[in-house]
Each structure stands twice: as C-alpha cells, then as structure tokens.
Amino acid sequence: MRRPALLLVLPLLLTAGCAAPVADLPVAPRYPSPGGEAFEKRAAEVTEAWRPGPDWSTGYVPLEGPTVLTGDPRFTPDTEAAYLAGWYRAQVPIPPTRVGGEIRFPDGRLTLPLVSAAEAYRQLDQGDPLPCPGRPKRTGRPTPGGPTVEPGPDGWATSSATQTACLSLTVTGVTFGAVPVRTSRGTAQVPAWLFTIKELATPVARLAVAPTAVTPVPEPAAPARPLADGLVGAQNIQAVDDVRMTVRLGVGACDTGITPLVWERPDVVVVGGSVTRATGNCIAVLKLEPVAVTLGAPLGARPVLDVATGAPLSIAPR
C-alpha cells in the first residue's frame, strides 16, 4: 500500500510548476525536518480517526464564521477594532421581511431556511464600544462571529495598547446577495445580507442561513497522548488559493525554528508544525504564527485537520 505524502515546507516557500492530480501525490518526504517522523505517525492516526458522518457531504457545514468581508475594507486601526468587536449603528431601517434562497455547492444545491435582514443585523451588532462614558463594560474576550484566539497557560493576554477610539461602524444600506464561503463540500455561494458601511470600502456580509439549519463541525478525534516534544498544532486557516495555503500555528512566545508540516491524502490534509523550544524562562502565552505551504494538489473540498486535536480547521482571515 502506498503511504501518504509527508511534505515539510519552509514558510513562504512556493513550489514552481503545475500541481499534480490528487491521486498522484508524491510518496516521499521532500525536505528533512526535526519532528517529521513523529508528525507523520500522528497525522496517520488523526486521518484514520476522521469520521465526519453523512452531513459532511450532504448538508451545510460552514468552515468560516458567519460574518464575512466582501473585499478589502481598507481598515484603520479604529475601524478594524470596531469590526472585530461587532460595534455597529444603523442609520437606515433594517427590513424584517424574510426571503427565499439556496446554497450553491460545486456538487449541487441545497434550499435552507433563511433569517431576515433585521435578525441578521441583531446577530451582527454586539453592542456599543468602549471606552465610552456611560456605556456597559465589556469583558475583553473575543466576541461571537469574531476570530478565535486561544488563551495561553497564564490566561488571556491583555494590553493597554489595544484601547481604541469610541467608534461604531455606520450602516447606511442593506441588500440581499450571496458570498463565497468555504464549506465541507468546497467553496459554496451562500445567501447573505450585505451591509453597506460608511467607514469601510466594502460591505460587511452576514450569512443569512438560519442557525437551526447549520450543521456543526464534527467533534475532533485525536490520539489521547500529548504531542511529541517540538511539535505544535494549527489553530486556523488564514487563506487558501488553489495549492497555496496559509495556516496559523500555535507556538510559544519564545519558540524558534518554526516549520510547517503537511500530510496529504486524496481525501484529507493534516497540518501542524515543528519548533525549537526556548531554554530558560519565557512567558507562557500562546502566539499565532502564520506560515505558508504549497500543497501537492489543489485543496478542493478536502478537510484540513489539526495534528494536535484532529479537528477540522476553519478559515479566520483576520
């Protein structure tokens, strides 16, 4: 039996030439790397444990958050902070009417219940910003629909440098449309409410599929033992473009020699990384480190699994 490929790729190293078909992936490591053998063994076990169930290929399982940017918003630090926190104010009526729609997958279509623009806006708007006199205090934790950031062993990292101006994003219009979303069945066109924002160069989309119609991502299955020393897991995907993919590894604040590790099979991709641990004292905070890899074939609808937890990774562009 042919063994799956183990591709060890340095950050930002891109392979020239055309990608091979999925069925013709190479079967030998291209580059030596510390931790490669341990990664290969664990990736194979994660792959064998992957059992997503029938809804993975027949239902709607989004691998992105419900709030999507439709282009380059030309953020300033203040508008980006407002976007990530969900601070909005509406200057136009938000219609309560519902509309029909369907999701268009590469392999077919699916009609699901949708929410109204008013309900989508209620999901989008997370309240008023801070610091603002007389407004409720926030906890500082990530907000629903925002990117996932893991706490370190010492808890959530905070800094006074994150304080921003008292700014909300102004909604000046709303329309119904569709946006591309990565799902378990590949990139789909998903119905969405598009909110025109005065302070941004592009609309903010809130996916219109009713929460009751969304199939959750399957629970991860991974080996019970911890990762081998020097191996790290992946937290999310920053970007995918055919055979090129950027993932964020969860590394220590003082780790060096960060190298992405990729295991490919025709039906699945497993990612992680190797690091050199620092000697001596170091703050115990998890840092998200973007690394770029080139796959042996276009990703397509293949799930990308974290070697640490076995969980399928979602896209979190910011």
Give the mean pLDDT of 204-225: 91
Per-residue pLDDT of 12-25, as tens digits, reads 333 333 444 444 43
Distance CA 285, CA 300 (A): 34
Nearest residue to 125 (alpha-carbon basis) of 63, 174, 71, 177: 174
Helix (H) or strand (E) holding 305: strand 304-306
Burial class (CB in 10 A: 0-12, 13-18, 19+), 8: buried
Amino acid residing at 220: P
Contacts of 260 (CB under 8 A, 6+ apart): 8, 9, 10, 11, 247, 249, 271, 272, 273, 291, 292, 293
pLDDT band at 222 (very low <50, low <70, confident <90, very high): confident
Q: Pick 41 or 139 by higher pLDDT.
A: 41
Cβ-contact 70, 203 below 8 angstroms: yes
Contact 205, 179 (CB under 8 A): yes
The CA distance from 125 to 88, in Å, is: 5
**pLDDT number for residue 99:** 80
Question: Between residues 288 and 280, which one has the greater pLDDT?
Answer: 288
Cβ atoms 252, 277 nearer than 8 A: yes
Among 268, 267, 215, residue whose Cα is nearest residue 59: 215
C-alpha torsion 30→186→224→152, nearest 10: 90
The DSSP code for 92 is S
Per-residue pLDDT at 212 exceeds 50? yes
Give the model's pLDDT for residue 211. 93
Q: What is the pLDDT of residue 153?
A: 33
Residue 265 CA, distance from chain mean position: 21
What letters, b where the CB count within 10 A reaches 16 and e where it falls short, cover 79-91?
bebbbbbbbbebe
Do residues 126 and 86 make contact, with C-beta atoms less than 8 angstroms apart?
yes
What pLDDT does 27 receive? 33
Condensed to tens digits (0 to 9), the pLDDT of residues 291-310 reads 999 999 999 999 999 999 99
What is the pLDDT, as a whole number, of residue 35?
A: 60
| Lowest-confidence region among 53-62, 74-83, 162-171 | 162-171
Q: Report percent pLDDT > 70 for the chain.
A: 78
Task: Report residue 97's pLDDT band, with 50, 70 and 90 as the boundaries.
Answer: confident
More confident residue, 9 or 119: 119
Q: What is the mean pLDDT of the chain?
A: 82
Burial of 220 (0-12, 13-18, 19+ CB in 10 A): middle
Tokens representing residue 46 in the block: 């994660």
Whether residue 156 is predicted with pLDDT greater than 80 in this model: the reply is no
Express as a percent the part of the chain with pLDDT over 90: 65
Domain ranges of the chain: 5-52+218-306, 65-213
Exposure letters 164-202 (e unless 16+ CB within 10 A, then b): beebbbbbeebebebbebbbbbebbbbbbbbbebebbee
Rounded Cα gap, residues 289 and 132, in angstroms: 33
Question: According to the model, what pLDDT value does residue 128 have?
Answer: 82
7 vs 197, higher pLDDT: 197
Long-range Cβ contact pairs of 123-127 (< 8 A, separation 24 or more): 123/66, 123/206, 124/67, 124/86, 124/88, 124/195, 124/204, 124/206, 125/86, 125/87, 125/88, 125/90, 126/85, 126/86, 126/87, 127/86, 127/87
